[in-house]
């Protein structure tokens, strides 16, 4: 098998580290339109000509129609996939892939792996996500997490990591979850389980509320029951689970913190991506 060459398209600081990690393992890595990576290719055409695999940004597209590449021009996704096909490129790694992108990839016979859909990436990313969420909340608070009253909304991968981290820091942690199975797991993990139907009566008593639920949970009505000093930190996927306009009107501090692994722990995040994409790449080209 020939030595595979990677092309990095856009991306944040973790992609600069990912490039170095791949090069340390003997791979050649090119880049285009990254404000973090030095000596990029002069054009998308050049990147495609030299690469065997493309690593696209996270998220890949914000509108499922075009690819926004930092300060570069927007690239129409149809043209992008067509161009990849013309250059014989058949493998793309990226993040937050929508239905329209999936359909385009199938149309042009390009295999797409979504980092967000990979269980091993999601599980490992829960830790830097939780640490980044707590760090963000602490930056806005005038008191310690120790002895504070904290509510975590949702008990998925990130909810579990958050609850355990906060408990380890000495906070009093409650968890709101919907299913009986999740409630039982919350209980056996040493937290108090709260039903979402109880939130209006209970939410006033917390110093911090961390949301992991990717649908509107903290709406205008819920905000009316909250203490003005409570800090809300939302790490749910876009558009989040908080009515941020209503929170601002109510004078409640609400933080939306997407993409935390790449911002607060880029080296860890890059290692996670490398460990996920390399086996899939080698398997793809060994067929």
Check residue 68 and give its pLDDT.
66
Place of tokens 């998220």: 59
Show Cβ contacts of residue 253 under 8 Å, excluding neighbours closer than 6 positions: 140, 230, 231, 232, 247
Show Cβ contacts of residue 9 under 8 Å, excluding neighbours closer than 6 positions: 31, 32, 33, 44, 47, 54, 55, 56, 57, 67, 69
Do residues 107 and 78 touch, judged by C-beta distance below 8 A? Answer: no
- Strand 253-256 to strand 231-234: parallel, antiparallel, or no bridges (unpaired)? parallel
How far is residue 134's CA from residue 260's CA, in Å, rounded to a whole number? 11
- Strand 66-67 to strand 75-76: parallel, antiparallel, or no bridges (unpaired)? antiparallel
pLDDT in tens, the chain (287 residues): 568 999 999 888 999 999 999 999 999 999 998 888 888 888 899 999 999 999 999 888 878 888 867 666 668 899 999 999 999 999 999 998 888 889 999 999 999 999 989 999 999 999 999 999 999 999 999 999 999 999 999 999 999 999 999 999 999 999 999 999 999 999 999 999 999 999 999 999 999 999 999 999 999 999 999 999 999 999 998 788 999 999 999 999 999 998 899 889 999 999 999 999 999 999 998 87
Query: Domains of the chain (ranges plus CATH)?
Result: 5-117+265-285 (3.40.50.720), 122-256 (3.40.50.720)
Secondary structure in 3-state letters for the chain? CCCCEEEEECCCHHHHHHHHHHHHCCCEEEEECCCCCCCCCCCHHHHHHHCCEEECCCCCCCCCCEECCCCCCCEEHHHHHHHHHHCCCCEEEECCCCHHHHHHHHHCCCEEEEHHHCHHHHHHHHHHHHHHHHHHHHHHCCCCCCCCEEEEECCCHHHHHHHHHHHHCCCEEEEECCCHHHHHHHHHCCCEEECHHHHHHHHHHCCEEEECCCCCCECHHHHCCCCCCCEEEECCCCCCCECHHHHHHHCCEEEECCCHHHHHCHHHHHHHHHHHHHHHHHHHHCC
- pTM attached to this predicted model: 0.87
Check residue 2 and give its pLDDT.
67
Do residues 96 and 116 touch, judged by C-beta distance below 8 A? Answer: yes
How far is residue 15's CA from residue 8's CA, in Å, rounded to a whole number? 8
Check residue 127 and give its pLDDT.
96
């Amino acid at each position: 098998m020939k030595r595979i060459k990677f092309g990095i398209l856009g991306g944040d600081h973790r992609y600069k580290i990912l490039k170095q990690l791949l090069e340390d393992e003997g791979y050649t890595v090119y880049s285009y339109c990254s404000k973090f990576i030095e000596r990029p290719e002069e054009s998308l055409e050049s990147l495609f000509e030299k690469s065997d695999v493309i690593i696209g940004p996270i998220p890949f597209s914000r509108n499922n129609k075009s690819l926004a590449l930092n300060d570069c021009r927007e690239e129409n996704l149809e043209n992008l996939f067509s161009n990849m096909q013309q250059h014989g490129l058949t493998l793309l790694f990226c993040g937050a892939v929508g239905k329209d992108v999936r359909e385009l990839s199938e149309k042009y016979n390009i295999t797409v792996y979504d980092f967000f859909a990979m269980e091993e990436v999601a599980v490992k990313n829960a830790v830097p996500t939780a640490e980044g969420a707590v760090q963000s909340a602490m930056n806005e608070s005038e008191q310690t997490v120790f002895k504070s009253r904290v509510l975590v909304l949702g008990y998925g991968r990130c909810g579990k990591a958050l609850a355990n981290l906060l408990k380890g820091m000495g906070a009093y942690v409650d968890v709101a979850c919907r299913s009986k199975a999740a409630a039982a797991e919350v209980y056996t993990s040493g937290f108090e389980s709260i039903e979402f139907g109880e939130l209006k009566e209970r939410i006033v008593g917390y110093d911090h509320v961390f949301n992991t639920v990717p649908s509107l949970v903290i709406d205008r009505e819920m905000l009316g029951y909250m203490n003005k000093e409570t800090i809300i930190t939302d790490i749910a996927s876009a558009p989040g689970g908080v009515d941020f306009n209503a929170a601002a009107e109510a004078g409640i501090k609400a933080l939306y913190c997407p993409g935390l692994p790449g911002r607060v722990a880029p080296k860890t995040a890059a290692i996670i991506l490398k460990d996920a994409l390399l086996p899939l790449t080698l398997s793809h080209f060994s067929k």
